[in-house]
Amino acid sequence: MPTAPGNKLEIKNVFKTFVTEGSFGSNRETVALEDVNFHIREGEFVTLIGPSGSGKSTLLMIIAGLFDKTSGDVLLDGKQVVEPGIDRGVVFQDFALFPWLTVEDNIRFGLRKRGLSRAEADATIAELLELVSLTGFGKHRPHELSGGMKQRVAIARAFAGDPELLLMDEPFGALDAQTRSSLQREFQEIWQRTGKTVLFVTHSVREAVYLSDRVIVLSSRPGRVASEVTIDLPRPRAVFDPEFAEVERQVAMELAAASGSGSDISAFSD
Ligand SMILES: Nc1ncnc2c1ncn2[C@@H]1O[C@H](COP(=O)(O)OP(=O)(O)O)[C@@H](O)[C@H]1O
Ligand SMILES: [Mg+2]
């Protein structure tokens, strides 16, 4: 299937229905995604935002190859995604680190399919630790790290496979406000240095506007693309600039409309 030039990821007519077994053999169907269409260009930072239950995590899991879609196409570099692969690096909200492994061995796990020698792997791990400002912490175990540091390890591990696409599902959602904003800033720098294509999920309008080239708003279940906002503000962005506030307001309005609650501005709160 042809891919438009410059498109890293194409989502075409994607539907997802979950069938759950109820009591007495009755099955319940939940339509989580309904005819979702969008694309992400090479090197672009795109954020999905939408009310709880709008299918954001489901869509990321499908792109990661961890869930089957019901129908439609998910094309990465023009090829159908059918299973997980090292061309996609994944970061979730709950730090999915192996607690029994050191920081370096957690990152090494992300390198395992690249066929590097031990020395090459060690050099790459050192680079990745540097990338996420954790030089010197390689021998630590996750329980010795703060939440923010754990999430930086998760980011390093996601980069370890040198992925074509990073998939991040509310990666900073469990962090306190201050750690969250420093990780947003650091991650923005990492993104600018590495030029990776990113699909990010958040329910924070401010985070979406701070980080993204483009924000895609999903509607309440079933999830559909309700609208799209291009963020043209220069980087690094200052959240207290009037121009930032104006774009933030615009995205919050789109989100409120997509949530079917015109007066709901709770999205401003974080
Ligand atoms: N494994 C599953 N089985 C059944 N229903 C699911 C499953 N995962 C998600 N859903 C349902 O699909 C919808 C979308 O969920 P989700 O993708 O988690 O939304 P979001 O991440 O936007 O909050 C919800 O109604 C949820 O209950
Ligand atoms: Mg979710």
User: pLDDT of 231-269, one tens digit each?
Assistant: 999 999 999 999 999 999 999 999 999 998 644 444 444
Distance 181 CA to ligand 1 centre (A): 28
pLDDT of 268 reads: 47
* Residue with CA at minimum distance from ligand 1 atom 25: 53
pLDDT of 3 strictly over 90: no
pLDDT of 191 reads: 95
Task: Please say whether the beta carbons of 153 and 106 come within 8 A.
Answer: yes
Mean pLDDT of the chain: 92
What's the rounded Cα separation, in Å, for the pair 235 and 184? 12
pLDDT of 263 reads: 45
Q: Residue 22's pLDDT band (boundaries 50, 70, 90)?
A: confident
Nearest partner of 255 among 108, 54, 101, judged by Cα: 54
Neighbours of 50 (CB within 10 A): 25
Find the mean pLDDT for residues 212-221: 96
Question: Model's pTM, two decimal places?
Answer: 0.93
Tell me which of 58, 68, 94, 201 to substitute to probe ligand 1's pocket, judged by most ligand atoms within 8 Å of the beta carbon.
58
Q: Return the ligand 1 atom nearest residue 50 CA.
A: 22
Task: Please say whether the beta carbons of 197 and 165 come within 8 A.
Answer: yes
Distance 187 CA to ligand 2 centre (A): 20
Q: What separation, in Å, do the N-terminal and C-terminal C-alpha atoms of the chain show?
A: 41
* Residue with CA at minimum distance from ligand 1 atom 1: 18
What are the tens digits of pLDDT across the range 114-142?
Answer: 889 999 999 999 999 999 999 999 999 99
pLDDT of 23 strictly over 90: no
Closest ligand to residue 62's CA: 1
CA distances (Å), origin 158, targets 1, 46, 151, 257: 28, 17, 10, 34
Residues found in the chain:
270
CA distances (Å), origin 51, targets 97, 103, 125: 27, 34, 37
Angle of the 103-111 helix axis to the 118-131 helix axis, nearest 10? 110
Tell me which of 14, 16, 30 to substitute to probe ligand 1's pocket, judged by most ligand atoms within 8 Å of the beta carbon.
30
CA distances (Å), origin 137, targets 132, 189, 246: 11, 20, 40
Domains in the chain with CATH codes? 1-87+196-270 (3.40.50.300)
| Residue 55 backbone class (left: φ over 0; alpha: ψ -120 to 50; beta: rest) | left
* Residue with CA at minimum distance from ligand 1 atom 24: 53
Distance 53 CA to ligand 1 centre (A): 6
- The percentage of residues in the chain with a pLDDT greater than 70, rounded to a whole number, is 94
Find the mean pLDDT for residues 56-69: 96
What's the rounded Cα separation, in Å, for the pair 185 and 199? 17
pLDDT of 210 strictly over 80: yes
Closest ligand to residue 170's CA: 2
pLDDT of 166 reads: 97
- Ligand 1 neighbours, Cβ below 6 Å, are 18, 20, 30, 32, 50, 52-58, 221
